[in-house]
Amino acid sequence: MNDTRLRPLGRSDLRVSRLCLGGNVFGWTADEAAAFRILDAYTAVGGNIVDTADSYSAWAEGHSGGESETVIGAWLHARGRRDDLVIATKVSQHPEFRGLSGANVRAAAHASLKRLGTDTIDLYYAHFDDPDTPVAESAEAFSSLVDEGAIRHIGLSNHSPDRIREWLDACAARGLHAPVCVQPHYNLVERGIEADLVPLARERGLALLPYFGLAKGFLTGKYRPDGPDVDSPRAARARAYLDGPRGERVLAALDAVAAERGTAPAAVALAWLADRPGVTSAIASARDLAQLEDLLPVVGLELTGDESARLTEASA
């Protein structure tokens, strides 16, 4: 991909593609061989940011957490592509490294570095808020990791606007390295953050990298009224979006734009998200190449103002 198509990530020196590849499935529903194929195909079209967490996939039977990082690290070593990619991971939910205390953040970061097989993490997120740890303590721990070179930039995920403000204010007061981005739950059918988090992010210069950009798979178009069952661990939650007329309205608008563009509804949904105010890159994952094929057009797909407005109105 030409670098001119990469976007600056907030006030950092990172530049990233419109589509961020989610690594939550690696080592879980996508084994190492499948993950390698997915990463190869994603980077071949110019995708350059991969998102994971130290806890992926501790929820699966027989897993302990860190499986996704280990697979990504193996791919980076096999392909020799470390300098080409922005690697993002997170701390607070690994069974052995819970919370955001200073000692835990430092220990978890070094465990992630080892699994990823790298000297530095480009983007390190506080995965979930930790009400039992003072924000200033967490902020200082993350900032010290930047100073020692273990991480390059800081992000927050699943934090309320008030807690984000508190973190930013603590950094300003103490001269610490501040977060450059926020990872919220946001998509065509989950737009609640537009009322508070989006204005805050734009005011403070924070990039948004939304997760669940496809609403647990609903916005792929696979879920239809009276349609067949879908083989997915998130099927029940995705199908819930069909309760009421709004879900069908959104699907109809996606179908129409996708047909006009000759692409998949999933690509249209993510393109809409990638162009929302404050959003830098939309996160989505794929467990095989067939699923990935519907996502890859997002790297270069920009909707017209009319197309975006139709989707926005349908999802209101």
How many angstroms separate the first and last alpha carbons of the chain? 34
Tokens of 266: 């999933």
Angle, in degrees to the nearest 10, between helices 197-204 and 161-174: 20
Catalytic residues: 56
∠ CA 278-160-302, nearest 5°, is 20
267, 268, 270, 271: CA torsion to nearest 10: 110
Is residue 208 within 8 Å of 280, Cβ to Cβ?
A: yes
What is the Cα 181 distance to its own chain's centre? Answer: 11
| Residue 37: CA count within 13 A, CB half-sphere | 12
